[in-house]
Amino acid sequence: MAAIGAWTTPHLAAAVEALRAEGGEVLDEHLAHLSPLVWGHVNFLGTYAFDPGAARGLDNLRPLRSGLPEEDDDEEGIVAW
């Protein structure tokens, strides 16, 4: 669970920063109700294969997804949904 929190926290911060930079209203009162310990997207029972050569540090995050289905997420061709 610590790894999930460590991974999610900087991504949440980057998303809030991006929303605010675009003029979006993100209230601190709402942020108080967010938690980085969300694991619905994590498969605890599966087998994972990682390429250490493609690993990113927490100071080198992937680009944020726009949430628009018609756009590619990044250079890997993952479609945001």
pLDDT given at position 21: 93
17 is a domain residue = yes
76 is a domain residue = no
| pLDDT tens, N- to C-terminus, the chain (81 residues) | 787 888 788 888 999 999 999 999 999 999 999 888 877 777 778 777 778 888 888 788 888 887 766 554 455 544 443
pLDDT given at position 57: 83
**Domain interval for residue 18:** 2-42
DSSP string covering the chain? -HHHHHHHHHHHHHHHHHHHHTT----HHHHTT--S---TT--TTS-----GGG---TTSPPPPP---TTSB-STT-PBP-
12 is a domain residue = yes
Among residues 64, 79, 71, 78, which one has the least CA distance to residue 12?
64
Q: How many domains, the chain?
A: 1
Query: Taking the model in full, what pTM does it have?
Result: 0.58
pLDDT given at position 59: 84
27 is a domain residue = yes
